[in-house]
Structure 1
Amino acid sequence: MHVAFILKGYPRISETFIAQEILALEQKGINIYIFSLRGPREKFTHQINKKIKAKVYYIPEYIYKSPLKIFLSWLKIRKLPGYKTSQREWFKDLKKDFTPNRIRRFAQAIVLSKELPSSITHLHSHFLHTPTSVTYYASKILGKPYSISAHAKDIWTTKNWEKEKKLKNALWTTTCTKQNQEHLLALSPKSNINLIYHGIDFDRFPPPHEEEPIKKDLKENSPFIILSIGRLVEKKGFDILLKALSLLPNEINWKLEHIGNGPLSKELKTLSRRLGLQKKINWNGTLTQENISKFYQVADIFVLASKITNSGDRDGIPNVLMEAQSQGIACISTKLPSIEELIINNVSGILVESGSIFKLKEAMINLIMHPDIRKKIGYAGQTRVKENFSMHVGIEKLSKLFLS
């Protein structure tokens, strides 16, 4: 089977879950071709991306940068039987969403339709917003079926009329949380919408060999390591985490190791200085998975203060929480429905009210001061992830959908 994967960008450091999926499907015998709507965001990538055999095509992101390529592609595909049908659908959408982005999506669909090898029989888009729009229009042009993987921001910031249309026309859809599945089924009850967790590849995240020390002397020169990983964007709640850290008692010797980058970098670093935390935080920037693993080995706890933004954007099940738990690290996060699918509060992790600086501070103090609780929760989280969130379970379900 030959499948085109349509992605917003490839490769992306923050989307290892897509890379692990592509590699695992290739190992199942599915031939994959990657079509990226943007160029690479980072200058380096994970080792897992280097193992992927799929050929990568880059579709022009902006019309003004590649007008000739788009025009020549249009000349090639405009006489295909499905072109006028696709154009009519695009005009309908353009009336509801008259934006440059909507125009760009159809131009990208034209190039995709022209570039697609004839051997490809199925289109698959990751993310319900832009990639699925391009896929939807190309599917109409070529008369080939498509499927969708829907995740987080793409679900909660896309308008309902557009989600419903895409879901109804898709052969099938997968999504990574029960909350997502329920929401999408409410919009399109007759659609084939499947819950498939991304899960952890335990070959890449084997359990640590050494157990955590029973007690850490907080008066030692060695600080208590708090780890947090995530893009510096609003939904990750790093402003809440910084404010909570500023309230920790002075007698606690702690250090925050942060991994990631994003548009709020300057703002959050300014906030950390204003709170007097600049000497307590290492901003490590974007790292490869291989380098991130070293931080899991030294972390005492993992904290992610996720929240729902005014636009509706939110996390699904953050992969970094699963990764941290796979290493037996006690995790603190927030009471969002998707995260509650992963963490059982006070059993396999600690969950606090989203946005509560005080409760987040108290949760951190509790784990810092009680190594026995920390160890118990870390072990319970590790066991739960191992029993319920293996990548291979999801890949089996996904490969059956493709091959059906």
Structure 2
Amino acid sequence: MTNTPPIKRVLYVVSLFPCWSETFIVREIQTLIADGVDVRILSLKPPSEKLVQVDAKALSERTHYPDLGLGGVISTAMTVILHPFTSLTCIAAIVADMWRTPTVLLKSLVALSRGLQQVRWLNGFDPQLVHAHWATYPSTVAWALARITGRRFSFTCHAHDIFLDHQLLSRKVEEAALAVTISRYNIDWLSQHVSAQALPKLAVIHCGVDVQRTACQLDGRNGQHIVAVGRLDPIKGFDVLIDALHLLSERGIDYRCTVIGEGPLRTELEAKSRARSISERIDWVGALPQEAVQAALRDAAIFALPCQVAADGNRDGIPVALMEAMASGCAVVTTAVSGIPELVEDGVDGLLVAERDATALANALQQLIEHAELRRRLAIAARARVETDFDAQTEARKLRTLMSSAANGRKRLLVVIDEMEVGGSQRQTVQLLTHLDRNRWQPELVYFRERSFLIDELERAGVRVHHLPKRGRIDPGFFLALARVLRRGRYDIVHAFSLTAEIWTLLALRMQRQRPPFVGSIRGLYLNQTMWFWRIKRFILSRSAAVISNSAAGADVAARLGCHDRENIDVIGNGVQIPAPISTRERIILREQTGVPDDRVFALFVGRLVDQKNVFCLLDAIAALPAEQRPWLALVGDGPLRARLSAHVDKIGIGAQTVFLGERTDSTSLMQIADFLVLPSHEEGMSNVLLEAMAAGCPVIASAVGGNPELVSHEHTGLLFPSDDRTALARCITRLTGDAALRKSLSCQARVRAESQHSNSALALATQKVYERCMDADDARARSARRSPASPTSESDHA
């Protein structure tokens, strides 16, 4: 996103800082700070490392540690008291996910308690994003802090934290603003374990090395010196390395190996080297400062790291030590495990061997020991590869861009509607959700019942759809499901499109710790509704951050009945897609399929067969005309009055020229072959049918009710008649039936009106502005509350 403002404040959450083996985090943070980002670090454990890198020491003033005494317990308890629902929800989710592994569960709850005590400190820093390294305990804490404080969170996952430990992984990815990982291999693995809707959040950022500070020395290296750097655990394959070195000794190859690192296997590995009678050739130097590691890499000509997949499925990501060796000028030999082939291409910038194959590893090491030119060629290519794709500063700046988008970028919108049966509001919902700027919005839909092809359209467009079946007027299960979607979705704004959707959504939002702005709707005139309807509507709209009406007439009625101040109701007319013209052949085929005689004028009605649409008025008006002036009539749509209307057609003698087509997906094509469309409704807000007909170039006749006069300018873009006036409607039908020139004139003007004033892009843009205004006001209130000297905001303080 080119216009996204750069992120300014980030809170990093890590298990332990500083950590000797996580120098890549230090480099990442240093680059962000150098680029003007204010970074703070929350370490879930107090400092305990014996060796601390110089660069990490420089970040000590930015690091915050938990209080392990009584003060920390009190702070945690205060957070739970002030935020009971969200805190207990997080605890319940952790218990439900991890109860089968008590040790992991206990560690997660301890980490959570240490995170919860930081809420006041976090609010004081006011980060735009909470970012965790590792998808285990740190990201659990980041997830909980984001839920409690209403902020966005992201995390970086590496290796064991996804391959071995799946701590709320899918849920974290779904709720995160961004999920970073270190290789394409990891992306492919994650895509099999998270929902399809969460995939766009995944991104690759390599850990990288500081290329500028890593000198590449090709000359003066000891061609028989092999170095290996890594934690001494099963996934590094040091046992295989010992076997390979033993084979080299048996072959009479002279070498020296330095192993840098500590770990649980050190005693076992040293014993194995003694058993193989090669202990005098291996130096087990333990963990070293970064400067000493670099010195070893400058002296050795060969770097070996035979990574492997452990018995429990654990494996490496892309080892940073491997990148450091390549950057320093070592020729490397490793295995094609996990994401390593993304760093090393066999024979080009290193050598790859099969995992657990000591013979293949020994052969590769022997080849490098004996061929200096091969070592040099591989080392030069390796340095170039790291400079191009694994430079820490470049990767950190990529991450900063992603963080900026995550913090300021796509906003999560939830639209709620009761049913998705084909109708005006339903079509407008689809038009809105499919025309929002996807660089700025991540739209989702909740509906209760009546699936239609419109849902298929949304899903094809990549809009996530939640179907929450509602049984009866009061359905506790449905209500809890809706509350759960709202809680997990972490939406920035919620927009409801019908009274049922509005009331249940508003009530469910009252259960949320973080309540996004709620937008209510006026989708018609509601002239036949009871006073109870208007009392409920008044309750809803008075608690809405904004109210959007699709017609000025609807807004006027709502204001007159005291639902909302008229000046605070936004009028945004419906949008319409200008259809591509159908061919002459398609016109002929469609007329034949619908049974339209070649010599008859074709009149069309599209809409639900309900009282509001007043179809009886249309039928009676046609019946009142002389037989030779009657158009051929097609009724598109279905509803409870279909049987009565069919009987009425036969009763008044127009059955031979009237056909009921039912629901159709090609109504806009029918509008293009019809000579005119009639909409005789008792009431309308902003009619989608009129808009679609005008966009299709179909002349329209409409009753002068509601929002119809806002669309149809009489004698200019269509014809209007007084509501329920059969005689006036018959005159309009007679005019259009007998005057082709008038039909053509109205058609042209109507299409221009629809295209210029009611495009779907205009609908989406105007609605986005309302959403942004609501979110800006909500953000301003939240910032004011966080900076208030009063006590921390509790859940009951939010409307």
**TM-score, normalised relative to structure 1:** 0.91
| 1:403 shift after superposition | 2.6
Other structure's SS at 2:208 match: coil
Q: Where in structure 2 are the equivalents of 1:141-152 lying within 5 Å? A: 141-152=148-159
Q: Answer 1 or 2: higher relative contact order, Cα 8 Å, separation at least 6.
A: 1
Other structure's SS at 2:124 match: coil
Partner of 1:181: 187
Q: Is the 8 A contact 1:59 1:108 kept in 2?
A: yes
Q: Where in structure 2 are the equivalents of 1:21-100 lying within 5 Å? A: 21-52=28-59, 54-59=61-66, 66=69, 68-80=70-82, 82-98=83-99, 99=102, 100=106
1:252-298 deviations in whole A, cap 9, x for unaligned?
Answer: 22111111111111111111111112111111111111111111111
| 1:148 shift after superposition | 0.4
Q: Is the 8 A contact 1:86 1:138 kept in 2?
A: no
Q: Distance in 2 between matches of 1:206 and 1:188?
A: 43
Q: Distance in 2 between matches of 1:107 and 1:38?
A: 12
Q: Is the 8 A contact 2:97 2:168 kept in 1?
A: no
1:3-26 deviations in whole A, cap 9, x for unaligned?
Answer: 211101110111110000011111
Q: Distance in 1 between matches of 2:66 and 2:278?
A: 43
| 1:241 correspondence with 2:241 | yes
Cα RMSD (Å) of the superposition? 1.9
| 1:89 shift after superposition | 3.0
Which letter does structure 2 place at the counterpart of 1:373?
L
Which letter does structure 2 place at the counterpart of 1:242?
I
Other structure's SS at 2:118 match: helix
Q: Is the 8 A contact 2:220 2:299 kept in 1?
A: no
Q: Is the 8 A contact 2:44 2:111 kept in 1?
A: no
| 1:242 shift after superposition | 0.6
Indicate how the Cα distance of structure 1 residues 119 and 96 shifts in structure 2: closer, same or farther if over 3 A, else same.
closer
| 1:88 shift after superposition | 1.5
| 1:212 shift after superposition | 4.9
For structure 2, which runs of at least 5 residues remain unmatched after alignment? 1-7, 406-799
Which letter does structure 1 place at the counterpart of 2:299?
V
Q: Distance in 1 between matches of 2:332 and 2:61?
A: 35
Q: Where in structure 2 are the equivalents of 1:1-400 lying within 5 Å? A: 1-52=8-59, 54-59=61-66, 66=69, 68-80=70-82, 82-98=83-99, 99=102, 100-121=106-127, 122-159=129-166, 162-186=168-192, 187-191=194-198, 192-208=201-217, 211-212=219-220, 224-250=224-250, 251-400=252-401
Other structure's SS at 2:333 match: strand
Q: Is the 8 A contact 1:128 1:149 kept in 2?
A: yes
| 1:349 shift after superposition | 0.5
1:147-202 deviations in whole A, cap 9, x for unaligned?
Answer: 1011111111123x721000011111111100112222331333311111122211
Q: Is the 8 A contact 1:4 1:123 kept in 2?
A: yes
| 1:117 shift after superposition | 4.5
| 1:103 shift after superposition | 2.6
Which letter does structure 2 place at the counterpart of 1:177?
S
Q: Is the 8 A contact 1:31 1:54 kept in 2?
A: no
1:304-326 deviations in whole A, cap 9, x for unaligned?
Answer: 01011122221111111111111
Indicate how the Cα distance of structure 1 residues 229 and 41 shifts in structure 2: closer, same or farther if over 3 A, else same.
farther
Indicate how the Cα distance of structure 1 residues 54 and 268 shifts in structure 2: closer, same or farther if over 3 A, else same.
same
- Tell me the percent identity: 29
Which letter does structure 2 place at the counterpart of 1:243?
D
Q: Distance in 2 between matches of 1:96 and 1:44?
A: 35
Other structure's SS at 1:155 match: helix
Q: Distance in 2 between matches of 1:320 and 1:174?
A: 20
Q: Is the 8 A contact 2:235 2:315 kept in 1?
A: yes
| 1:386 shift after superposition | 1.8
Q: Distance in 1 between matches of 2:120 and 2:310?
A: 38
1:296-353 deviations in whole A, cap 9, x for unaligned?
Answer: 1110200001011122221111111111111221100001130000000111111000
Which letter does structure 1 place at the counterpart of 2:47?
P
Q: Is the 8 A contact 2:315 2:338 kept in 1?
A: no
Indicate how the Cα distance of structure 1 residues 389 and 106 shifts in structure 2: closer, same or farther if over 3 A, else same.
closer
Indicate how the Cα distance of structure 1 residues 41 and 248 shifts in structure 2: closer, same or farther if over 3 A, else same.
farther
Partner of 1:220: none
Q: Distance in 1 between matches of 2:115 and 2:59?
A: 24
Q: Distance in 2 between matches of 1:203 and 1:185?
A: 34
Q: Distance in 1 between matches of 2:26 and 2:396?
A: 12
Which letter does structure 1 place at the counterpart of 2:300?
A
Aligned residues: 388
For structure 1, which runs of at least 5 residues remain unmatched after alignment? 217-223
Q: Is the 8 A contact 1:123 1:135 kept in 2?
A: yes
Indicate how the Cα distance of structure 1 residues 54 and 189 shifts in structure 2: closer, same or farther if over 3 A, else same.
farther
Q: Is the 8 A contact 2:76 2:114 kept in 1?
A: no
Greater Cα offset, 347-356 or 135-144: 135-144
Q: Is the 8 A contact 1:32 1:54 kept in 2?
A: no
1:75-127 deviations in whole A, cap 9, x for unaligned?
Answer: 422343x4412312321330332222233233223223244242322211100
Partner of 2:452: none
Q: Is the 8 A contact 1:125 1:131 kept in 2?
A: yes
Greater Cα offset, 2-11 or 35-44: 35-44
Other structure's SS at 2:309 match: coil
Which letter does structure 2 place at the counterpart of 1:245?
L
Indicate how the Cα distance of structure 1 residues 360 and 41 shifts in structure 2: closer, same or farther if over 3 A, else same.
farther
1:342-390 deviations in whole A, cap 9, x for unaligned?
Answer: 0001111110001111111111111111222222212221222222222
Q: Distance in 2 between matches of 1:41 and 1:332?
A: 33
Q: Distance in 2 between matches of 1:188 and 1:83?
A: 29
Q: Is the 8 A contact 1:23 1:51 kept in 2?
A: no
1:47-98 deviations in whole A, cap 9, x for unaligned?
Answer: 22133365212225xxxx64x2343113422343x44123123213303322
Which letter does structure 2 place at the counterpart of 1:237?
G
Q: Is the 8 A contact 2:181 2:202 kept in 1?
A: yes
Q: Is the 8 A contact 1:76 1:114 kept in 2?
A: no
Q: Distance in 2 between matches of 1:234 and 1:183?
A: 21
Q: Is the 8 A contact 2:178 2:403 kept in 1?
A: no
Q: Distance in 2 between matches of 1:345 and 1:306?
A: 15
Q: Is the 8 A contact 1:226 1:256 kept in 2?
A: yes
Q: Distance in 2 between matches of 1:163 and 1:29?
A: 31
Indicate how the Cα distance of structure 1 residues 113 and 245 shifts in structure 2: closer, same or farther if over 3 A, else same.
same
Whose Rg is larger? 2
Q: Is the 8 A contact 1:128 1:154 kept in 2?
A: yes
| 1:234 shift after superposition | 1.0
Q: Is the 8 A contact 1:28 1:399 kept in 2?
A: no
Which letter does structure 1 place at the counterpart of 2:219?
E
Q: Is the 8 A contact 1:35 1:57 kept in 2?
A: yes
